[in-house]
Structure 1
């Protein structure tokens, strides 16, 4: 509950609900910008999640690629 509140307050919940935006092939400059911004936000959320997890549990989720994957594993 506390982590969910933090993520909502930082406006990161949509990212963990929908996942990272990926630029399509032949993407426009705007699509690339949005995808890069999404990747950066994903890294920030992953950092929050990693900091909140006990080290013994952390090893089981380090194989997850995105914040959404980590969040789903933590549920």
Structure 2
């Protein structure tokens, strides 16, 4: 998998390659493709791979189930990173002056996360 590549495009590319291999006589079971996909995901999916391997029977996992599971995780990761980017961060600097010309600076910093 290439950095920045989506699960949908990666699975489509992998299926295209595996279909070509099958067409040319290669014996390739779905479980082999599932294992290869899990092994070749980018490091950001490492915890997802561990979770899938621990919670599902890889030998019985279909390609569609794998892709669906990976898509859900990808959407959660994308939503999480978007939420962090869109978190409200307000920072203001207010400068108050008194009659003697000496100023007093007040810094107010507020960080509100939309994650719950």
TM range (shorter): 0.3 to 0.5
- When Rg is computed on C-alpha atoms for both structures, the one with the higher figure is 2
Relative to the length of structure 1, the TM-score reads 0.35
Relative to the length of structure 2, the TM-score reads 0.28
Structure having the larger proportion of residues in strand: 2
Structure having the larger proportion of residues in helix: 1
